[in-house]
Amino acid sequence: MNPLVSRLPHVGTTIFSVMSALAQEHQAVNLGQGFPDFGCDPALLNHVNEAMRNGHNQYPPMPGVATLREAVATKIGALYARQYSATSEITITAGATQAIITAVLAVVHPGDEVIVLEPCYDSYVPSIELAGGRVVRVPLTPETFRPDFNAIGAAINPRTRAILVNSPHNPSATVWSRQDMLQLESLLAPTDVLLISDEVYEHMVFDGAPHESAARFPGLAERAFIVSSFGKTYHVTGWKVGYVAAPAALMAEFRKVHQFNVFTVNTPMQYGLAAYLGNTAAYLELPAFYQHKRDLFRAGLAASKLRLLPSEGSYFQCVNIAEVSDLSEADFCQWLTREKGVAAIPVSAFYGSGFDQRVVRFCFAKQDETLNAAIERLQLL
């Protein structure tokens, strides 16, 4: 028998799982993995329970329940002034990670190049490699994490099939501005490069700034798979339900892959989400909800030796540790969990090279009591 050859020889257990396990072992406050420690609106649960009791427990249509796709199309139209067909341009997915790998598998052929902007979420690179694509890593500007359009432009060539963009950004909490999106639109205009726009934190943009979805920009929308997440928006990350919006020709290819790697998504949750989406306040008020938590966390650390980087969106806060420790990011996070009882994530884990700029990431999607407990410990550094 021939030895098994791994399709992903460089992939191990994710840093999120490692740090969450370490946090549990040492009973640390877990500000590492990005999930809330509070529940969702009971009204959402009631909608899901009602759907179950009403018999919505068998397979739904492959692209998703029609009423949910229609609600998504309505929301995108209202927020970003672009109309998508619920029939042919919206698909409900088993979370954003499935949406991203499905988009990649739908359009990337062996040998195609795909640009990723580092630091980047850890599913991007394996998705490209599984499709047989070649990953082209372009760094965001160190510490500020702003896009370097000269570097992005230099990476584009006739072999470039797609670019992955994430705003609000995980892990850095930066947000692309309208000018950034216009520059990307201009840069891609003379090319056939497709865009996969990861917008799972779309409803977490702070200080009154808008979320500049790719849907707002015709030259981007016509070439984009736009990905979002109900789990992030409604505090139900374990449900693993998201969606993709894309022009009909792109969506037709997406659905060819979707029907064989997932086929469809949990039926009663789709009906429950469809009913709940009518409550627009649930996502329109989310920026203020998370801005309170951001401000609480930042105020608590303001006098510490941790240097706060800007947090423009998402539910993350990055800090520079240079004045606290000489340890590497990864070793610091291990030490912080074991010795100080707070778990964080090294930003170096989001780079293929492990680039260490002395920055770690905290998640503030936690109850205020949880954040205050972490603040008390971090103030002692």
Rounded Cα gap, residues 287 and 381, in angstroms: 30
2 is a domain residue? no
CB 132 within 8 A of CB 108: yes
- Sequence-distant (≥ 6) Cβ neighbours of residue 145 within 8 angstroms: 119, 169, 172, 174
Identify the pLDDT of residue 17: 84
Domain of residue 180, residue span: 42-280
6 is a domain residue? no
Residues 122 and 33 in one domain: no
Rounded Cα gap, residues 28 and 22, in angstroms: 8
From residue 377, alpha-carbon distances to 29, 62, 374, 380 in Å are 9, 48, 5, 6
- Of 280, 312, 339, which residue sits at a domain end? 280
The pTM of the full predicted model, rounded to 2 decimals, is 0.96
∠ CA 109-111-113, nearest 5°, is 90
63 is a domain residue? yes
7 is a domain residue? no
Residues 69 and 89 in one domain: yes
Residues 311 and 261 in one domain: no
CB 128 within 8 A of CB 106: no
Residues 36 and 50 in one domain: no
Identify the pLDDT of residue 346: 96
Identify the pLDDT of residue 119: 98
1 is a domain residue? no
Identify the pLDDT of residue 124: 98
Q: Name the β-bridge partners of 92.
A: 243
Residues 75 and 163 in one domain: yes
Tell me which residue has tokens 């954040």. Answer: 371
Identify the pLDDT of residue 13: 76
For residue 157, give the CATH number of its domain. 3.40.640.10
Residues 251 and 288 in one domain: no
For residue 28, give the CATH number of its domain. 3.90.1150.10
Backbone angles phi, psi at 305, to 5 degrees: -85, -5
* 58-95 per-position pLDDT tens digit: 999 999 999 999 999 999 999 999 999 999 999 999 99
Identify the pLDDT of residue 20: 87
- What residue ranges of the chain have pLDDT lower than 50? none
Dihedral sign, Cα of residue 163, residue 283, residue 350, residue 304: positive
20 is a domain residue? yes
How crowded is residue 291: how many other Cβ atoms within 10 Å of its Cβ? 17
Which two structure tokens, joined as six digits, stand for 113? 């190049």
Residues 236 and 316 in one domain: no
Rounded Cα gap, residues 247 and 197, in angstroms: 13
Residues 234 and 304 in one domain: no
The number of CA neighbours under 13 Å toward the Cβ of 81 is: 5
Residues 95 and 145 in one domain: yes
Residues 324 and 252 in one domain: no
140 is a domain residue? yes
158 is a domain residue? yes
- Of 226, 257, 280, which residue sits at a domain end? 280
Rounded Cα gap, residues 343 and 365, in angstroms: 14
Rounded Cα gap, residues 147 and 15, in angstroms: 25
Identify the pLDDT of residue 12: 79
- Of 226, 260, 280, which residue sits at a domain end? 280
Residues 264 and 336 in one domain: no
Backbone angles phi, psi at 246, to 5 degrees: -160, 155
Q: How many domains does the chain divide into?
A: 2
Which two structure tokens, joined as six digits, stand for 279? 């409550």
Residues 353 and 296 in one domain: yes
